[in-house]
Amino acid sequence: MAQVTRFPHYHQTENVVTNHVMVMLRMLYEASPKLLEALLRALCAEEVTVGPRFSQQIHGAHSVPDGLIAQDPLAVFVETKLGSLPNPGQLARHCQTIVDRLPGRKGSFLLSLTAGQAGLALPGEVTDMAAAHGVTVVPVTFGELVDQLAELPGADLVLRATLQEFADFIFAQGLVPRQSQIMVAMLTGISWRENLAHGVYYEPIDRSPKHARAAFLGLYHDKQVSHVGRIVTAVGAMHDDTGEMIFDKPESGKLDDAGRQAIRDVVAAAQAYYPGLEASRHRYYVVDGFAPTNFRKVSGGGMMGHRYFDIESMGGRRLPERATGTLAAGALDGLTYL
């Protein structure tokens, strides 16, 4: 078994990428098992426990011990492909290998890392066979991995810098799909109507900038992406001591008077359910207007967080450069994802 090292001797790019992924996962665990746990939960969309659990007053059949320290078994296997599609036959063989190595073991995960589009469904025969043996196969894109790393809470500055270096490496290898064909679907709740009405979505400024990877932004609501717009501006803003909205230099695009007013309007509307929004710096995405679509999630449960989708791959045709949100919405209309 080859050891994970920070200075790999591999020559094949795929092996180097795999080594870097494993080093990153190991560093997360060494910094805090909870960081690795949070990442695995986000990627696998399941309850994953890393490390021991502490309990007290555990009722048993014959007594009630005062305390218990227990650690659930956890096995996470990784298969890396630099292309856009996984190899179903290889994944099936990996599942059999997992069963042979860990007979009778439940709760094993196989992460299938690819450079393809988010939302890719694996063949049913692979997932069914894996589930029968207690293995969960999770398709993950490098883009999703990088994005979830950026969302991890509480990482120290040294680790944060290392994670950014890992992200830079992944982007430099061309493992994240091209921006012009990508939509990011953002969770909306009570803000959905105001986002739609004013053509603006907002998030805390310390979150990963979605415009760096996606040309389009979709509003996820009630198990579907209901509207899509092209991101024309991304800018940080907050009120100063006088109550005046102060805008940063735009991170992307240009901010005109109409965009400034749209941001002021969505902030004013948010006071009904998010008082004080303007007191902290947020990133505001101004779009070219949210066009209606029906891009529905057909698997159980809601989206766990924002997700990226390759519109060309899912819709079967490439969007022209600088396509409008209306064109993107039309390409996704009637499609489904897991």
Residue 194: the pLDDT is 96
For 226-275, give the secondary structure using H, E and C. EEEEEEEEEEEEEECCCCCEEECCCCEECCCHHHHHHHHHHHHHHCCCCC
User: Residue 24's pLDDT band (boundaries 50, 70, 90)?
Assistant: very high
Residue 63 has pLDDT above 70, yes or no: no
Residue 132: the pLDDT is 84
pTM of the model: 0.56
Cβ(252)–Cβ(214) below 8 Å:
no
Q: Could you say which of 105, 133, 162 is where a domain stops?
A: 162
Domain region containing 242: 178-337
Residue of higher predicted confidence among 178 and 285: 285
pLDDT tens digits for range 75-95: 889 999 988 888 888 998 998
Residue 223 has pLDDT above 60, yes or no: yes
Residues 156 and 25 in one domain: yes
Residues 212 and 333 in one domain: yes
**Number of folded domains in the chain?**
2
User: Residue 60's pLDDT band (boundaries 50, 70, 90)?
Assistant: low
pLDDT tens digits for range 288-303: 999 999 999 998 888 8
Residues 28 and 143 in one domain: yes
Residues 158 and 185 in one domain: no
Residues 193 and 308 in one domain: yes
| Domain-located, residue 147 | yes
Residue percentage of the chain with pLDDT more than 70: 92
Residues 125 and 188 in one domain: no
| Domain-located, residue 168 | no
Q: Could you say which of 94, 127, 162 is where a domain stops?
A: 162
Residues 288 and 195 in one domain: yes
- Indicate the average pLDDT of the chain: 87
What is the rounded average pLDDT of the residues 27-48? 88
Residues 79 and 203 in one domain: no
Distance, CA of 87 to CA of 69 (rounded, Å): 40
| Domain-located, residue 278 | yes
| Domain-located, residue 183 | yes
Residue 57: the pLDDT is 60
Angle of helix 142-151 relative to helix 33-44, nearest 10 degrees, comes to: 130
Residues 210 and 97 in one domain: no
Residues 155 and 215 in one domain: no
pLDDT tens digits for range 256-266: 999 999 999 99
Residue 282 has pLDDT above 60, yes or no: yes
Residue 73: the pLDDT is 76
Residue 267 has pLDDT above 70, yes or no: yes
| Domain-located, residue 8 | no
Upper half-sphere CA count for residue 201 (Cβ side, 13 Å):
28
| Domain-located, residue 224 | yes
What is the rounded average pLDDT of the residues 186-214? 93
Residues 204 and 117 in one domain: no
| Domain-located, residue 318 | yes
What is the rounded average pLDDT of the residues 176-190? 87
Residue of higher predicted confidence among 212 and 184: 184
| Domain-located, residue 52 | no
Residues 152 and 18 in one domain: yes
User: Residue 21's pLDDT band (boundaries 50, 70, 90)?
Assistant: very high
Name the nearest CA neighbour of 293 among 337, 335, 329, 336: 329
